[in-house]
Amino acid sequence: MFIEPLERHPTSRRFKIIAAVVFAIILFLLIMYNETPLSKGKPVFYIPSSSVNAVAESLQENGYELNSIDHLVLRFVHLPEEGWYRVCGNEVGRYFFFKNLHKKRVRTLSIKIFAGETKREIFHRLSRDLMLDETMLDGNYTKLARFEEGNILAGRYSFPRSADEETVIRSLLKQSDRALDRFAREYYGFSFTAEQLKEALIVASIIQKESNDPDEMARISSVIYNRLKKGMRLQMDGTLNYGKYSRTIVTPERIRSDKSRYNTYKYKGLVPAPLGSVSIEALRAAASPQESGYLFFVLNEKGKHNFAETYKQHIKNVKAFKIYCSQRNEKKKEKEKKKTVAPAKREKKALVAPRKKEVSVKKPVSIKSQERNQTKKKQESRREPLPKKKKQEKRKELPLPKKKQDIKSLFEHIDTTPSH
pLDDT in tens, 40-68: 888 888 888 888 999 999 898 888 888 88
Q: Nearest Cα to 239, choosing from 199, 270, 213?
A: 270
The answer to whether residue 311 scores a pLDDT higher than 70 is yes
Tens-place pLDDT, residues 257-272? 999 999 999 999 999 9
Provide the pLDDT confidence category of residue 274 given band limits of 50, 70 and 90: very high
**Rounded distance, CA 201 to CA 209, Å?**
12
pLDDT at 307: 92
The answer to whether residue 13 scores a pLDDT higher than 90 is no
Q: Crossing angle for the helix pair 194-210 and 214-229, nearest 10 degrees?
A: 120
Give the angle 377-378-383 at the CA atoms, nearest 5°.
Answer: 100
Model pTM score: 0.69
Q: Nearest Cα to 140, choosing from 167, 113, 162?
A: 167
B/e letters for 223-261, b = 16+ CB within 10 Å, e = fewer, are bbebbeeeeeebebebbbbbeebbeeebeeeeeeebeee
B/e letters for 284-301, b = 16+ CB within 10 Å, e = fewer, are bbbbebbeeebbbbbbee
pLDDT at 280: 93
The answer to whether residue 73 scores a pLDDT higher than 70 is yes
38: which strand partners?
Answer: none
Q: Nearest Cα to 171, choosing from 108, 120, 101, 233?
A: 108
| Under 8 Å between Cβ of 299 and 323 | no
Tens-place pLDDT, residues 150-182? 999 999 999 998 888 999 999 999 999 999 999
Task: Give the domain ranges of the chain.
Answer: 44-103, 109-294
pLDDT at 409: 52
Provide the pLDDT confidence category of residue 17 given band limits of 50, 70 and 90: confident
